[in-house]
A and B are shown apart, each in its own frame.
Chain A
Amino acid sequence: MSTGEVLVSKADGNGGIMALQKNLEGYVGFANLPNQVYRKSVKRGFEFTLMVVGESGLGKSTLINSLFLTDLYSPEYPGPSHRIKKTVQVEQSKVLVKEGGVHLLLTIVDTPGFGDAVDNSNCWQPVIDYIDSKFEDYLNAESRVNRRLMPDSRVQCCLYFIAPSGHGLKPLDIEFMKRLHEKVNIIPLIAKADTMTPEECQQFKKQIMKEIQEHKIKIYEFPETDDEEEMKMVRKIKDRLPLAVVGSNTIIEVNGKRVRGRQYPWGVAEVENGEHCDFTILRNMLIRTHMQDLKDVTNNVHYENYRSRKLAAVNYNGVDNNKNKGQLTKSPLAQMDEERRDHVSKMKKMEQEMEQVFEMKVKEKLQKLRDSEVELQRRHEQMKKNLEAQHRELEEKRRHHEEEKASWEAQQRILEQQKLDASRTLEKNKKKKIF
């Protein structure tokens, strides 16, 4: 039965999903997965974009033809060196090549005019612009809502040709490499290596590598592998950097063999002879072993750098730039989501505040109204009372007057009566006297 169950917690790119290791008790068949991948990749076909940069006359076109054993540049499709340019152009040629059932769409990007002018300031700019525009095309294609076929025209490798002066790098070489080493995989090559003796070449290489290190230029690095054999090969290549190459379009017969080479009065410099130059190493590395890695590094490193820089600029457009750098891990959509949520809570708060103020003001106003009502009522009551008091006073006065009047009138009547009585008595007396 199954034994040896080990709990393996792998901290992955997305936060450590725990995976339990299981032993299989028999053949399942997923070991066939690589074949499935193989099959599908052959069906899909491959593509590769290679850029060559260097002054005219350094044998760039010849080298390409030698590398791919074809006449990429022929009388019908002349290479850039045959066309005279005033300014630096960037041109691409696409060819479809087939080998062993494998289809390869090869794009060669040429930069005629590079370094040929008297004043070469900014001659790297068209190159940078070209590389960036390919990144941009890819970014836009990747960001569409409807994405279908995404043709990949990003520059995956740049062969930089150094003139075989024997001294060191030219200022133009250094400037170019410094500006492009974070945009593309740079493989520096010593052109026309058959103009130097092995010792001169050795010296030249050391000098160049020293200067590259001094200027902190990051040329393409061969990846480490666990395979001992492969590592040995990688180390061998590293020792011979930068590769010194010779190219040729002509086939010459040497010792009964037909080889590509350059015929001199003193002998033939063979392109594919490891003792004559590093061409074979270049070809094997570029095409036979590291082509896929060049594509992967372009996709995972150079393109991602471009993309994150581009998107960070978009994100911060109009947004407070003091936000901490941790924001860079969020997608613009997630950021908008968060902003929306923040806004909702802000609005809620604002609504609450406004509601409170409103309530308070209404309460105030109502209170005032009530107070004024009370006041008016009070005044009215007072006036009423006043009036009533006056009424009562008046009544009192009238009553008093009535009383007085009544008593006086009564008095008057008594007096009248008395007067009448008196006058009657007088009359009586008068009558008595007479008798």
Chain B
Amino acid sequence: CNTSGEGARAVPLAGHVGFDSMPDQLVNKSVNHGFCFNILCVGETGLGKSTLMDTLFNTKFEGEPTQHNQPGVTLKSNTYELQESNVRLKLTVVNTVGFGDQINKEDSYKSIVEFIDAQFEAYLQEELKIKRTLHSYHDTRIHACLYFIAPTGHSLKSLDLVTMKKLDSKVNIIPIVAKSDAISKSELAKFKIKITSELVSNGVQIYQFPTDDESVAEINSTMNSHLPFAVVGSTEEVKIGNKMVKARQYPWGTVQVENENHCDFVKLREMLIRVNMEDLREQTHTRHYELYRRCKLEEMGFKDTDPDSKPFSLQETYEAKRNEFMGELQKKEEEMRQMFVQRVKEKEAELKEAEKELHEKFDRLKKLHQDEKKKLEDKKKSLDDELNMFKQKKTAAELLQNQAQQAGGSTTLKRDKERKK
């Protein structure tokens, strides 16, 4: 809704028209619909987070105290239906269990950031659906983060600074000094100044109560100067005078929760619930959620076209994005195929090389063999020649012998004949 009224001229009314009932119409609809508010309590174990919630909302939220035996930081969320006159409030209280209990606290903030982002993501997904029901969506985004600071009286712990720095762009941070009845008034004043200066010097953006609306500007700016609120929580009642009041009883006196001289509880309640609850919701939606959404969409590659090209068209952007996306997928597929083709080529070349080598080897062997065979052939031939020569010699010799025998034979015959005579 924006009444910048560009191009509009103001016209006077000649009587009572009746649109001054618009705020009432709007309010009636909101009341009928019901409200919802989500608080996140971050702080070390034992700082009285649950007690403070009970005190703020005048009720006992949890049945029994939470188990602190999980490693790491876990977030426990509980939703409650509250009603005050005709106003229905769906309140969700999220507690950090185990925060600050670890030896190595470097990752403590991570589960908190993840939780906050998850709520933004759920809303974003709903907002982007084609058929959506935003009107009846139960908003789980964290509207306020109460950051509990331990009442050491010295300065912020580095865990606190690191965590708040990680959270300040995601949620409205309201820092409070817990169990402040452990600090004296003068120490408290110094402590608050120290905390504020450390926050400023570290660039931590905490929630500022808005001063743009004249009706609440004054009280809000006064309260801003009292931050961080030093609170005490208690659900026990003590009789003071003739009234029962919420208090903590010590031997040396009674700390009254709702006594503004004793602590800032009333201020916290005033600011958080009675004056700025709606602003906290609005800031969460228009600032923190928009930042998350913008980053998420940019991460996915969406962007608004620049001023000199065509005006933004959702359809075209989605189509372009989709085409780009499909192209990307196809490219990936193609790359993989190409890689395989390359591998196949290489392997083939390898194998061919091996094959070639093998054939060469055997060609060489074959040649050797051929040489051997030739040598053998030569030897055979020379042997055959020898055999032939020998045969010839033998034949010639036998011939001679036969001739000699024939001659000798006849001589022997003659001799024998003579002997016989």
Contact = CB atoms under 8 A, between A and B. Distances in A.
Given A29-B273, A289-B21, A140 B29 contact: no
B25 A291 contact: yes
B23 A317 contact: no
Contacts of B383: 394, 397-398, 401
A336 B20 contact: no
A304 B137 CA distance: 14
Given A18-B79, A44-B3, A318-B322, A358 B344 contact: yes
Interface string B368-403: 010011001001100100110010001001000100
Given A14-B126, A30-B277, A292 B29 contact: yes
A139 B379 CA distance: 104
Interface residues of B, number: 134
Contact of A67 (B17, B122, B133, B317): B17
B20 A102 contact: yes
B17 A68 contact: yes
A277 B41 CA distance: 60
Contact of B81 (A21, A145, A149, A333): A21
Given A68-B13, A95-B11, A31 B80 contact: no
A373 interface: yes
Contacts of A48: 19
Contacts of A339: 325, 329
A240 interface: no
Contacts, number: 352
A373 B365 CA distance: 13
A320 B71 CA distance: 47
Interface in B41-95: 56-61, 78-87, 89-90
B308 interface: no
Interface stretch (A32-40, A123-131, A161-169, A181-189): A32-40
B81 A391 contact: no
A310 B386 CA distance: 110
Nearest to B14: A69
B351 A365 contact: yes
B314 A102 contact: no
Interface stretch (A82-90, A202-210, A323-331): A323-331
B10 A329 contact: no
A380 B333 CA distance: 49
A284 B18 contact: yes
Interface string A7-51: 010101110011111111111111111101111111111111000
Interface in B1-39: 1-5, 7-31, 35, 37
B307 to A, nearest CB: 12
A150 B326 CA distance: 32
Contact of A101 (B20, B312, B340): B20
A360 interface: no
Given A33-B278, A288-B21, A422-B408, A415 B401 contact: yes
B358 A372 contact: yes
A70 B18 contact: no
B35 A30 contact: yes
Contact of A311 (B30, B130, B366): B130
Interface string A387-406: 10011001001100100110
A369 interface: yes
Interface stretch (A112-120, A190-198, A261-269, A346-354): A346-354
A329 B130 CA distance: 6
B329 to A, nearest CB: 5
A397 B379 CA distance: 11
Contacts of A284: 18
Given A46-B1, A373-B358, A98 B87 contact: no
A145 B19 CA distance: 34
A206 to B, nearest CB: 29
A331 B125 contact: yes
Interface of B: 1-5, 7-31, 35, 37, 56-61, 78-87, 89-90, 122, 125-138, 140, 212-213, 215-216, 269-270, 273-279, 282, 290, 293-294, 297-298, 300, 302-304, 311-315, 317-319, 321-323, 325-326, 329, 332-333, 336-337, 340, 343-344, 347, 351, 354-355, 358, 362, 365-366, 369, 372-373, 376, 379-380, 383, 386-387, 390, 394, 397, 401, 404, 408, 411
23 contacts: A24-B58, A33-B30, A33-B278, A36-B276, A40-B278, A40-B282, A95-B8, A95-B9, A103-B3, A145-B293, A145-B304, A149-B4, A304-B132, A311-B130, A318-B322, A329-B131, A330-B130, A331-B128, A332-B130, A340-B325, A380-B369, A390-B376, A408-B394
Given A27-B58, A350-B336, 8 more contacts: A17-B140, A22-B80, A23-B59, A36-B275, A140-B312, A152-B2, A310-B315, A315-B130
Q: Which 3 A-B pairs have the closest CB atoms?
A: A331-B128, A100-B20, A45-B3
